[in-house]
């Protein structure tokens, strides 16, 4: 039986045939919920974090009239694990997706399933990242099997870097496609919003775009605005200009969604968050563009590492009239917090087995009790685990070497403070071992 979100006493309530929907613990409105996810976009790629070599005016505006998160951390350092954490509110070692080729287990309850069972219209337009089937199965978990009413995009990670795809999934069928992938996803999102304005149903829109991911290609009109502004290895193939064009196009896509919400009169009833799945990549597929632009600056590391450059991602949230304008949240927030924080706004008490917590107090300028957060990346030849408590972060790499950093004073993680805080090192190492001991088998097998 699928695991539910909400348990009251010893009874887990089901609704509409989907686990995870219960009567709210208190009367609550039904705000609309929107998540826009960038792909491989680094901390330093947006203007609100200091980028000046290109422009992201709408994202910067959202940061001014909404909430900017100074220390928002992803749940995984490659695509599948981070998305699984975002949708389940559970760490990689608990949701069964510790590797990029792992499929989200069907028994995992997604945010979409919970909201669907409460009458929400749910849609995913963009990248759904499936892995390999488990347990001898020959089928993949499809997003429409995990709570999404509508789906248009990629299911297979091997195609989800195609900026100009020839075909896409539309529901459960593959259909021809023409155009820039993210343009197509945003156009579909706008139609979805118009339908929701017409039928007055609350909605959850998940828009995981592919901006930034591998193939560094942009629409011709966007590329021309950037051509010649950056040094290039090959002027005939202006990758660095194309990367700038991709990010500016992403900002325009965010603007299209925000403007559509405003035009339809939905802005004040909609909580929107924009973030990235993890830090930028300096790997071969990126063709040097993120490295040239120093996309993760000022941090150390990149995708597939647990240093700040890999896990600290640019993030803003906006809910006009509800979230305070211009607030900067400086305490650590985790991608696993999105599910319980959203559920709290809907009136659902998150179950105890979620790893994130409802952070609404912090998101509105209130108290944020200290806790320990965890990460792991033990695949593809990497072997790292990390823990963060408040201002301190411990990173353990291959061979068991540990380093302790004080993040506010040393965000570049240059100075190992282990020697002066051996007590804290020991405590965090103990907590990491206890955390790893809770790992579920599905997160490692049969993909060892």
Mean pLDDT of 149-176: 92
Mean pLDDT of 267-282: 97
Residue 3 CB: number of other CB atoms within 10 A?
16
DSSP letter for each residue of 354-371: -SS---HHHHTT------
Report the CATH number that the domain containing residue 311 is assigned in CATH: 3.40.720.10
pLDDT surpasses 90 at 199: yes
Task: Classify residue 190 by its DSSP letter.
Answer: H
Residue 349 CB: number of other CB atoms within 10 A?
18
Let me know if residue 419 belongs to a domain: no
Let me know if residue 3 belongs to a domain: no
Residue 437 CB: number of other CB atoms within 10 A?
8
CA distance 138 to 150: 23
Let me know if residue 445 belongs to a domain: no
Structure confidence at residue 442 (pLDDT): 58
Q: Which helix (H) or strand (E) holds 388?
A: strand 384-389
**How does residue 140 score in pLDDT terms, banded at 50, 70 and 90?**
confident
pLDDT surpasses 90 at 371: yes
Let me know if residue 406 belongs to a domain: no
Let me know if residue 218 belongs to a domain: yes
Angle between helices 239-263 and 181-199 (to 10 degrees): 10
**How does residue 441 score in pLDDT terms, banded at 50, 70 and 90?**
confident
Question: pTM of this prediction?
Answer: 0.92
pLDDT surpasses 80 at 276: yes
Let me know if residue 443 belongs to a domain: no
CA distance 148 to 383: 34
CA distance 323 to 401: 42
Structure confidence at residue 135 (pLDDT): 63
**How does residue 126 score in pLDDT terms, banded at 50, 70 and 90?**
very high
Residue 320: exposed, middle, or buried by beta-carbon count in 10 A (0-12, 13-18, 19+)? middle
Instruction: Identify whether the C-beta of residue 13 lies closer than 8 Å to the C-beta of residue 30.
Output: no
pLDDT surpasses 60 at 12: no
Mean pLDDT of 330-336: 98
Instruction: Return the residue matching tokens 């190992």.
Output: 416
Strand partners, 7: 12
Strand 270-276 relative to strand 203-208, pairing:
unpaired
CB-based burial, 43-70: b 16+ in 10 Å, e otherwise: bbbbbbbebeebbbebbbbbbeebbbbe
Instruction: Identify whether the C-beta of residue 356 lies closer than 8 Å to the C-beta of residue 89.
Output: yes
pLDDT tens-digit readout, 74-120: 999 999 999 999 999 999 999 999 998 888 998 999 999 999 999 99
Q: Identify which of 407, 428, 409, 436 has the alpha carbon closest to the alpha carbon of residue 332.
A: 407
> What is the number of residues in the chain?
448
CA distance 434 to 421: 20
Structure confidence at residue 4 (pLDDT): 33
Let me know if residue 395 belongs to a domain: no
Structure confidence at residue 136 (pLDDT): 63
How many Cα atoms are found within 13 Å in the side-chain-facing hemisphere of 288? Answer: 11
Residue 124 CB: number of other CB atoms within 10 A?
28
Residue ranges making up the domain that contains 78:
28-370
Q: Identify which of 32, 39, 73 has the alpha carbon closest to the alpha carbon of residue 386.
A: 73
Let me know if residue 390 belongs to a domain: no
How many independent structural domains does the chain possess? 1
Mean pLDDT of 15-29: 37
**How does residue 21 score in pLDDT terms, banded at 50, 70 and 90?**
very low
Strand partners, 427: none
């Amino acid at each position: 039986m699928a695991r539910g979100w909400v348990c009251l006493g010893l009874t887990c309530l089901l609704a509409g045939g989907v686990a995870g929907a219960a009567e709210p613990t208190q009367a609550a409105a039904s705000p609309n919920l929107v998540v826009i996810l960038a792909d491989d976009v680094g901390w330093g790629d947006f203007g609100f974090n200091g980028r000046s070599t290109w422009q992201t005016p709408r994202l910067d505006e959202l940061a001014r009239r909404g909430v900017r998160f100074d220390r928002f951390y992803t749940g995984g350092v490659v695509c599948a694990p981070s998305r699984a954490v975002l949708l389940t509110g559970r760490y990689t070692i608990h949701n069964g997706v510790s590797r990029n080729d792992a499929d989200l287990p069907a028994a995992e309850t997604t945010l979409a399933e919970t909201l669907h069972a409460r009458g929400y219209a749910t849609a995913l337009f963009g990248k759904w990242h499936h892995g390999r089937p488990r347990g001898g199965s020959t089928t993949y978990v499809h997003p429409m099997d995990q709570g999404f009413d509508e789906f248009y995009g990629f299911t297979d990670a091997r195609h989800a870097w195609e900026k100009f795809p020839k075909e896409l999934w539309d529901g459960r069928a593959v259909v021809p496609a023409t155009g820039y992938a993210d343009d197509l996803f945003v156009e579909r999102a706008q139609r979805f919003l118009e339908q929701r304005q017409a039928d007055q149903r609350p909605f959850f829109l998940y828009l995981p775009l592919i901006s930034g991911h591998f193939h560094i290609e942009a629409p011709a009109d966007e590329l021309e605005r950037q051509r010649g502004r950056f040094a290039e290895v090959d002027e005939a193939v202006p990758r660095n200009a194309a990367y700038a064009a991709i990010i500016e196009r992403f900002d325009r896509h965010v603007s299209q969604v925000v403007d559509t919400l405003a035009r339809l009169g939905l802005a004040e009833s909609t909580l929107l968050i924009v973030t990235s799945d993890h830090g930028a990549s300096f790997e071969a597929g990126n063709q040097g563009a993120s490295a040239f632009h120093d996309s993760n600056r000022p941090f150390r590391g990149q995708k597939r590492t647990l240093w700040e450059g890999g896990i600290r991602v640019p993030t803003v949230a906006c809910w006009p009239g509800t979230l305070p304008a211009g607030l900067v949240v400086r305490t650590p927030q985790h991608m696993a917090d999105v599910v319980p924080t959203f559920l709290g706004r809907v009136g659902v008490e998150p179950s105890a087995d979620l790893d994130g917590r409802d952070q609404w107090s912090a998101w509105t300028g209130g108290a944020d009790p200290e806790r320990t957060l965890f990460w792991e990346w033990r695949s593809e030849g990497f072997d790292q685990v990390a823990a963060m408590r408040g201002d301190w972060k411990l990173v353990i790499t291959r061979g068991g070497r540990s380093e302790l950093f004080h993040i506010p004073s040393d965000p570049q993680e240059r100075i190992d403070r282990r020697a002066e805080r051996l007590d804290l090192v020991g405590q965090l190492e103990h907590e990491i071992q206890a955390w790893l001991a809770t790992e579920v088998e599905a997160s490692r097998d049969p993909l060892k």
